[in-house]
Amino acid sequence: MPKILLKDIAQARSGDKGNTVNIGLFAPSRELYEIFAQQVTAEKVKEHFQELIEGEVIRYEVPTINAFNFILKGALNGGGSRSIRIDSLGKCFGANLLRMEIEVPEGVLKISNQTVNKAGVYV
């Protein structure tokens, strides 16, 4: 099964609430949403960010729009006004999540490529 970066097939957006980051991850098709549900788990997201996250990761599913909302607690080293990190507002976490690699069956990739191009633009 081919491995692919999420950035090639998904869109994400992130931001902060205090010391917590939330990331919205959007799949372009129902088939990819189901694959994300299996492979982009809270545990895998925490592992992907490694030492950047001190607390738990919670995943909420939003199947009506083929999306997930991840809550990353303790991810900003104190929060926007206290952190000395370059990304103290969590805006880069979405782009970072898109660097996660997953396995996608070839047939699903062909279907999704008809829906969204590599730039994330629906066609």
The tens digit of pLDDT for each residue in 63-86 reads 999 999 999 998 886 666 666 566
pLDDT of residue 29: 92
How many domains in the chain? 1
Q: Say if 41 falls within a structural domain.
A: yes
Question: Which string of b and e fits 17-39 if b means at least 16 CB within 10 Å?
Answer: eebbbbbbbbbbbebbbebbeee
pLDDT of residue 106: 83
pLDDT of residue 59: 99
pTM: 0.84
Q: Say if 92 falls within a structural domain.
A: yes
Say how many Å lie between the first and final Cα of the chain, rounded: 25
Print the domain residue range for 38.
3-113
pLDDT of residue 122: 47
Q: Say if 54 falls within a structural domain.
A: yes
Q: Are 111 and 9 in contact (CB under 8 A)?
A: no
- 59 HSE (CA, 13 A, CB side): 17
Q: Say if 120 falls within a structural domain.
A: no
pLDDT of residue 7: 96
Q: Say if 119 falls within a structural domain.
A: no
Residues of the chain with pLDDT under 70: 77-90, 110-123
